Structure 1
Amino acid sequence: MLISAKDLHLKAGRHDLVEGVSIQVSEGEIVSIIGPNGAGKTSLLKLLLGLIKPERGSIERRPGLRIGYLPQKASIDTVLPLSVERMMTLTEAFSRKEVEKALAETGVASLIDEPVQTLSGGEFQRMMLARALLRNPELLVLDEPAQGVDHLGEAELYGLIGRLREERGCGVLMVSHDLHVVMAATDRVLCLNRHLCCEGEPEEVTRHPEYLRLFGMEAGSRLAVYSHHHDHTHDLSGNVDTSHASHQEQAP
C-alpha cells in the first residue's frame, strides 16, 4: 500500500468540503476521482499530499514515499522569460540529462530549450507531467492532467499515463472531469460529491444509481464509446498525425 486514508473530514467555515472519505492506492494501480464541480476532489488530493490538515480522520503513507505532483493550475508569467529546462528545475536541482530523460518519457524532449510561454496546451501538460517524474515517484498525483488539452488529444495523454504506470510500476491517483476518456483508462473509480457516492471498477461504477444521478443516464454509455480501437494517433496539440494514420481507400 502506498497511501491509505480513513474517514477524512474537512470544512471551510460551516461548509463541508470532504465528508468521511476513505481511500487507498496501491503500487501499479490507477485510481481516478470523478465528481461535479465543488465536489471536494482537489481538496481531497491536498489532504492526501499533506498540504492541508484534515479536521478528522487519519492518513498513512509508506515511509519515505516519493510523490510526483501535477497541480490543477500552474500560472506562468507571460513577461518573464522561462525555458522548459528552467521551469523543470525551479524548485529542485536536476541535471540537464535528467530533465531530457523525463521529457523524453512524455514525448517532448525536443522542447527543452523552448520558452514555456510558446507551448500548446498539450505540450505544457506533458512538460508538467515530466516535471512530476523527475523525483522518480512511487506515486503520481495528477489533478486534471488533461486540462487545456484538445479533446482529440485527451485519449493519447491518458494512454501515456497508463504506459508510465506499466513501465515504472508506480501508483497513479488522478482527478478528472473527462468522464468519457478517464473511465476507459483507469483501474478503479471513486465518485465524489463531498462524500464518497460509489467506488469500484469503471463498468461497475457507471451502472451505480448515484453515478447515474450525478452525471445522467447517457454518461453510463460513454465508457463503451471511448474504449474503441484507434487506427490513428494524435500530435501534441490533439490533431491527427497523418504520418502514422492508416486509411483504407474506398473502391469507386
Structure 2
Amino acid sequence: MDVTDVHHSYRQHAVLRGVDLQLRPGTLAGIVGENGAGKTTLLKILSGELRPDRGSVSHNSRFGYCPQSVVLDDSFTVRQHLDFFKYAFGLPDLGRAEEVMEALAFTAYLDQRAGLLSGGSRQKLNLTLALMHDPDVLLLDEPYQGFDWETYLCFWELATRLRDTGRSVLVVSHLAYDIDRLELLWRLDGGRLHPQERCTEAAA
C-alpha cells in the first residue's frame, strides 16, 4: 500500500494535512494518536470508505477492514452473519472464519444472537468478518477494545501469524500498547504521520 500526500477536512477543520505511508507485505505496523487526531478518518480513506480531498492511495491487494464501531444486526446469529458475508465475499466455505474463531476462542457462540453478545464477543465477530476472506492487508481500528487479557494475547498471536505469512497488518489505537510487537510505528499528530523509534524486534 502506498499513500501519498493525503489531505482531508471537515468543513473548515483540517484533519489530515499531508499523510504519507508505505505498508509492505509481511509487516506488522501501528499508528497511535490522541482521540480526535484523525485516525479513524485515515483508516476510512485507506479502506476506500471515504474519498480524500487531495492525495492518493494505491494498492493491489485484498483488504480487510475492522472498524472501531461494530456494525452488526442484533437479530442475526453469529452463524447468520458468517453466511451473509460468505455470500458477499463469494467464498466457497467458512473454513477461514472457523480458523479465526478458534484462534479467538469464539466457536461456542455460533448460534448466539449478536444482540446478546458481550462487547468483547461482538468485537471478536467484527474481527472474524474482517478476516474471513483471507485479506492481504488488514486495517484494524482499536481492534482489541472489550477483550479480556487472554483474548488480548490471542489477538496478538493471530496478528503475528498473519505477518509471518506475508500479510500486512495495520493496528490503529489511541494508546501505544505492545509496541515491541511492531516493526513500524507512527504517531498521527497535527494531521501528519511522524515515525516513532523503530522496535528492534517483534515479540514472538
Question: In which range does the TM-score fall when normalised by the shorter chain?
Answer: 0.7 to 0.9
Match of 1:86 in 2: 80
SS in 1 for 2:134: coil
Tell me if the contact between 2:97 and 2:131 (Cα under 8 Å) persists in the aligned partners.
Answer: no
1:144-173 deviation digits (Å, cap 9, x = unpaired): 10122246753442233222322x320001
Return the match for 2:182 from 168, 186, 210.
186
Match of 2:66 in 1: 70
How is 1:234-245 mapped onto 2 (pairs within 5 angstroms)? none
What number of residue pairs does the alignment pair up? Answer: 198
CA distance in 1, matches of 2:157, 2:197: 18
SS in 2 for 1:184: helix
Match of 1:19 in 2: 17
Could you tell me how far 1:190 is from its partner in structure 2? 0.8
Tell me if the contact between 1:10 and 1:19 (Cα under 8 Å) persists in the aligned partners.
Answer: yes
- The structure with the larger Rg is 1
Return the match for 1:169 from 143, 152, 166.
166
Tell me if the contact between 1:191 and 1:198 (Cα under 8 Å) persists in the aligned partners.
Answer: yes
Tell me if the contact between 1:84 and 1:111 (Cα under 8 Å) persists in the aligned partners.
Answer: yes
**Percent of pairs with identical residues:** 31
Could you tell me how far 1:96 is from its partner in structure 2? 4.4
SS in 1 for 2:70: coil
Check 1:143–1:106 CA distance in 2 against 1; reply closer, same or farther (3 A cut): same
Q: Provide structure 2 residue ranges, at least 5 long, that are not aligned to the other structure.
A: none
Which has the higher relative contact order, 1 or 2, with Cα contacts under 8 A spaced 6 or more apart? Answer: 2
Amino acid at match of 1:158: W
Amino acid at match of 1:136: D
Could you tell me how far 1:97 is from its partner in structure 2? 4.4
How is 1:1-252 mapped onto 2 (pairs within 5 angstroms)? 3-62=1-60, 65-76=61-72, 78=74, 80=75, 82-93=76-87, 94=91, 95-150=93-148, 153-166=151-164, 168-179=165-176, 181-196=177-192, 198-203=194-199
CA distance in 2, matches of 1:30, 1:23: 14
Check 1:119–1:184 CA distance in 2 against 1; reply closer, same or farther (3 A cut): farther
Tell me if the contact between 2:73 and 2:114 (Cα under 8 Å) persists in the aligned partners.
Answer: no
CA distance in 2, matches of 1:159, 1:177: 21
Amino acid at match of 1:35: G
Could you tell me how far 1:92 is from its partner in structure 2? 4.3
CA distance in 2, matches of 1:57, 1:96: 37
CA RMSD, Structure 1 to Structure 2 (Å): 2.5
Tell me if the contact between 1:5 and 1:60 (Cα under 8 Å) persists in the aligned partners.
Answer: yes
Could you tell me how far 1:11 is from its partner in structure 2? 0.6
CA distance in 2, matches of 1:146, 1:155: 10
CA distance in 2, matches of 1:148, 1:202: 28
Could you tell me how far 1:56 is from its partner in structure 2? 1.3
Check 1:104–1:32 CA distance in 2 against 1; reply closer, same or farther (3 A cut): same
The TM-score normalised by the length of structure 2 is 0.84
1:173-194 deviation digits (Å, cap 9, x = unpaired): 1211232x23132111110024
Q: Provide structure 1 residue ranges, at least 5 long, that are not aligned to the other structure.
A: 205-226, 230-252
1:21-80 deviation digits (Å, cap 9, x = unpaired): 101111110111100011000111111111111111122112xx10111111114454x2
CA distance in 2, matches of 1:188, 1:23: 11
CA distance in 1, matches of 2:67, 2:138: 11
